[in-house]
Amino acid sequence: MLKAIIVDDEQASRDTLFNYLSKYCENVQVLAQAEDVKTALPLIHKHNPDIVFLDVEMPYGNAFDLLQQVGDITFETVFVTAFSHYALKALNLSASYYILKPIDIEELVSAVEKISENRKTKKESLHNKIIVENINTVNKQLQKLVLPRLDGFEVVQISDILRCQANDNFTEFFFLNGKKELVCRTLKFYEDTLSDFGFIRIHKSHLINSQFIKRYIKGKSGTIIMVDGCELELSQQRKEQFLEQFGKI
C-alpha cells in the first residue's frame, strides 16, 4: 500500500483527486490533505508518504517552494497542474510525473503504477532532487536534464549537449565528449523543453546548442558547422528565425 498526501489550494480539486484515487488506485491510501505549503510541510514530516500529489500553483508558495523546504525528500511527487509554461519546462527537465487539470484518469493510474513499480524494485528516484538543484542553479546551461531509458534514466548537464537529431519518434542526443544517447521522445518535446536554454531548431531533424556553433555559411538555405566539425543544413523555413534568434544570444 502506497501512503499519499494531497496538496492543493482548491477543495474541489482535492475532493476530485481523492475520489479518483479511492476508486481507481486501490493500492493508494490518502493519509492527509493540505491547502498550502505551510500546512503540507508538517504533514509530510509526520506521515513520511510514498507519494505527494502536489498542485504546482498555490498562493503563499508553489510546489517548488515546498520541495526546497521539505529537506530530505524520500517520496515521489505527482504534480497536478493547470497548463503553466514555466512549470512544465521545469518538470520536463527532471522527467517528473505530472497530470494536467482536469485530471485524466488513465494518466493518474499510469503515474501511480510507475511509482508503485519503482518502489517495489527500489529504483532510486532523483526527479525531485534534480528540480531543486535546477532551481538553485542560476546559470541555465549548468542545469540538468533527465533522459529516460528503458532500464531507468540518465542525468546529464545541459552544457554537455552539443545537439539533438530526430529519429522517427525518438531523439538522438550528441554530447561534447562524442557520446550518443537515443531517447524515446520526439524532437519537438525537447525543442519545447530546451528553448530557454540556448537551443535552436534549425531543421525538422536538428536542434542545436547555440553555444557550440563554430561557423555559419550563407547559401540558399545555409550551413551550420558545430565545434566538432559536424555540418548541418539550415532549412529555408527556419533561416530567418535562426538569424533572428542567434542575433539575440
Helices (DSSP H) in the chain: which residue ranges? 11-24, 37-47, 63-69, 85-93, 105-121, 127-135, 187-194, 236-248
Give the domain-ending residue among 116, 133, 150: 133
Same-domain pairing of 128 and 8:
yes
Alpha carbon of residue 127 to chain centroid: 8
Residue 142 counted as domain residue: no
Residue 145 counted as domain residue: no
* pLDDT recorded at residue 90: 87
* pLDDT recorded at residue 124: 62
Same-domain pairing of 128 and 17:
yes
Same-domain pairing of 6 and 118:
yes
Residue 98 counted as domain residue: yes
Query: What is the C-alpha to C-alpha distance for residues 194 and 203, in angstroms, rounded to an integer?
Result: 15
Same-domain pairing of 129 and 173:
no
Residue 148 counted as domain residue: no
Decide: residue 54, CB within 10 A, 0-12 exposed, 13-18 middle, 19+ buried: buried
For the chain, what is the domain count?
Answer: 2
Same-domain pairing of 13 and 124:
yes
- Binned at pLDDT 50, 70 and 90, residue 248 comes out as low
What mean pLDDT do residues 6-18 have?
A: 97
Give the domain-ending residue among 133, 150, 166: 133
Residue 36 DSSP code: S
Q: Do the beta carbons of residue 51 and residue 30 sit within 8 Å? A: no
**Please, what is the Cα angle at 135 between 91 and 128, to 5 degrees?**
50
- Binned at pLDDT 50, 70 and 90, residue 20 comes out as very high
Same-domain pairing of 8 and 119:
yes
Least confident of 36-45, 82-91, 182-191, 234-243: 82-91
Give per-residue pLDDT as tens, 80-117. Answer: 988 667 788 888 999 889 999 999 999 999 999 999 98
Give the domain-ending residue among 72, 99, 133: 133
The CATH number linked to 208 is: 2.40.50.1020
Cell of 54: 502536489
Match 550518443 to its residue by C-alpha cell: 180
Share of the chain above pLDDT 90, in %: 70
Residue 73 counted as domain residue: yes
Rounded-to-10 torsion of CA 103, 37, 135, 55: 10
The CATH number linked to 59 is: 3.40.50.2300
Give per-residue pLDDT as tens, 186-218. Answer: 999 999 999 999 999 999 999 999 999 999 998
Decide: residue 200, CB within 10 A, 0-12 exposed, 13-18 middle, 19+ buried: buried
* pLDDT recorded at residue 89: 83
* pLDDT recorded at residue 221: 83
Domain that holds residue 127: 2-133
Higher pLDDT, 226 or 96: 226
179 phi and psi angles, rounded to 5 deg: -70, 150
Residue 66 counted as domain residue: yes
Same-domain pairing of 114 and 183:
no
pTM listed for this prediction: 0.83
Query: What is the C-alpha to C-alpha distance for residues 165 and 79, in angstroms, rounded to an integer?
Result: 29
Q: Do the beta carbons of residue 191 and residue 201 sit within 8 Å? A: yes
Least confident of 5-19, 26-40, 116-130: 116-130
Share of the chain above pLDDT 70, in %: 96
Residue 12 counted as domain residue: yes
Same-domain pairing of 128 and 9:
yes
